[in-house]
């Protein structure tokens, strides 16, 4: 399932907002393992998504999956 931005939102998008959409969403990511319950600002989420795009590799994906498992097991997930 893809997240769909509303037309009112996309009317205000800059190039960096559109760049975020260059990668298909996955089941986990930087936002999920970086304190998503504490990150309220969309620009911070955007920064994490762009950081992911810049650093992408199989190893980086495996690190995020490992961090996801740790967050879930430590019960530090969303609340």
Instruction: Encode pLDDT of 54-69 as tens digits.
Output: 999 999 999 999 999 9
Residue 79 CB neighbour total at 10 angstroms? 6
Given this model, what pLDDT does residue 52 score?
Answer: 92
- Please state the rounded mean pLDDT for residues 26-34: 86
Locate the domains of the chain by residue range. Answer: 7-73
Give the largest CA-CA distance in the chain: 40
Read off the pTM. Answer: 0.74
Structure tokens at 5: 């931005």
């Amino acid at each position: 399932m893809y997240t769909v931005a509303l037309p009112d939102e996309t009317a205000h998008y800059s190039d960096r907002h559109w760049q975020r959409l260059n990668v298909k969403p996955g089941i986990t990511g930087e936002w999920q393992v970086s304190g998503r319950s504490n990150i309220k600002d969309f620009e911070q989420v955007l920064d994490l998504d762009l950081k992911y795009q810049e650093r992408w590799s199989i190893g980086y994906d495996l690190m995020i999956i490992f961090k996801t498992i740790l967050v879930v097991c430590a019960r530090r997930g969303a609340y």
